[in-house]
Amino acid sequence: MIPYTKKYLPKSSKEVIGQEEALSSLKDFILNYKSQKKRATLLYGPTGTGKTSAVYAIAKEEGLEVVEVNASDFRNKDQINQKVGGAVKQMSLFSKGKVILVDEVDGLSGTKDRGAIPEIIKIIKDSTFPIILTATNVWDNKFSKLRKTSIMIEFSPLNTKNITKQLEKICKSENIKYNEDVLKRLARRSAGDLRAAINDIQTLSMTTGSLEKEALESLGERERRDTIINGLLKIFKTTDPKIAIKAFEYCNEDLNEQMLWIDKNLPLEYTKPADLARAYDKLSKADVFNRRIRRWQHWRFLIYINALVTAGIAVSKDKKYDKYVQYKPTGRILKLWWAKQKSMKKKAVAEKIAEHTHCSIKEAIKNIDYFQAIFKNNKEMSEGIANQLGLDKEQVAWLKK
């Protein structure tokens, strides 16, 4: 059986959903490659948002050959030069041109693959064909030089509405009977990853040819979340400390994640103020012990933390609640991730300012507000500064914000 993710790959750029701005920038780079100042483009964003699919779709429209190399296939300078460098030097035999796609470049580590990124940069400078790199997170320091030599194009997480529409199209094409609510729930839980959602509908419909609520419940949360949700059930739906204390015994999540899940879902489950107060008292004490472990490495406190967040919270209620609660993952980790992304963007801009103004990166960060004021209020001066510093569109947009 052909995987739906392969069967329903976009055949044209119009079929790539939710990435109109990114597609426009990518198409402009490929079609006007000879006039581009930078010789490569770096597509970045979460998995399942269409980075690789967009490259193939545009190439097919324009009659271009795609030579794809996965970064995990090579580990050193010589292998990169052989695979990527060789592709750059050879003319295309079956089409009017070609693009070189280096997929998952953030798979290269900073130590084992030492020399890999400098070699890629060297090949980029000498290439006569468009080189497109894809990555999930490009704001690591090891990619600073690669960012300078590439046009940055962001692929954002897809929204629930777009994913739901795509799932409906597949269901109709495959004659799968579906419940609209189930599709929406699948779209929501995919967290912007269309590929994951498509894999889910193929898995669920494989035996019955339908997508009903029962099928969704049988799938449950993804394997990683299934364990944590079962753990929460053992804590929230019992007053027996012997049952609750083993809740996270086989849980894949670390202690910090467990506490974040409890913190998020505790008010949803415990609706009586007295129960909630007692439960949060246990959680706060566990957090105090956790901080002592981090500060003084007193690992003997782990046994107290586990007792507090499991049995302690379980017995904090007078009796268990019979209502159904759909437990949700915390959004705090995602917020922290986005904050880190913004911080790394700021640092990337500061690096360029520091390089051209002969100051430290720390000093450049202190004075970055002045550059932001210029970019917001003086178009002519900001264009001059952008050219002087070699800022890409993404960095200019960040300064304008």
- CATH number of the domain within which 177 lies: 1.10.8.60
Q: Pick from 277, 305, 326: which residue ends a domain?
A: 326
- Pull the structure tokens for residue 85: 């460098």
Q: Indicate if 351 and 300 belong to the same structural domain.
A: no
Give the count of domains, the chain: 4
pLDDT in tens, the chain (401 residues): 688 888 999 989 999 998 999 999 999 999 999 898 898 999 988 888 899 999 999 999 998 988 888 766 665 666 676 667 666 666 655 557 889 898 888 777 554 555 778 888 888 888 888 999 998 877 777 788 888 889 999 888 888 888 999 999 999 999 988 888 888 888 877 777 888 888 888 888 877 778 877 666 655 544 444 467 778 888 998 898 988 898 887 776 778 888 988 999 999 999 999 999 999 999 999 999 998 888 887 888 889 999 999 999 999 999 988 787 778 777 666 566 666 667 888 888 999 999 999 999 999 999 999 999 999 999 889 999 999 998 888 888 889 87
Q: Are both 272 and 392 inside the same structural domain?
A: no
Pair (186, 230) in one structural domain: no
Q: How far is CA 55 from the centre of its chain?
A: 19
Together in a domain, 141 and 266: no
- Is residue 149 domain-shared with residue 25, that is, in the same domain? yes
Both 146 and 9 in one domain: the answer is: yes
Shared domain check, 296 and 392: no
Last residue of a domain, one of 272, 297, 326: 326
Distance between CA atoms of 138 and 122, rounded to whole angstroms? 18
Same domain, 114 and 194: no
Q: Tell which of 103, 130, 154 closes a domain.
A: 154
Asked whether residue 141 falls in the same domain as residue 15, the answer is: yes
pTM score, whole prediction: 0.56
User: Which has the closest alpha carbon to 168: 131, 201, 206, 191?
Assistant: 201
CA angle 7, 12, 18 (to 5 degrees): 90
| Joined tokens for residue 190 | 């995919």
Q: Give the range of the structural domain holding residue 389, as residue numbers without chain letter.
A: 333-400
Q: Which two tokens stand for residue 121?
A: 């940069």
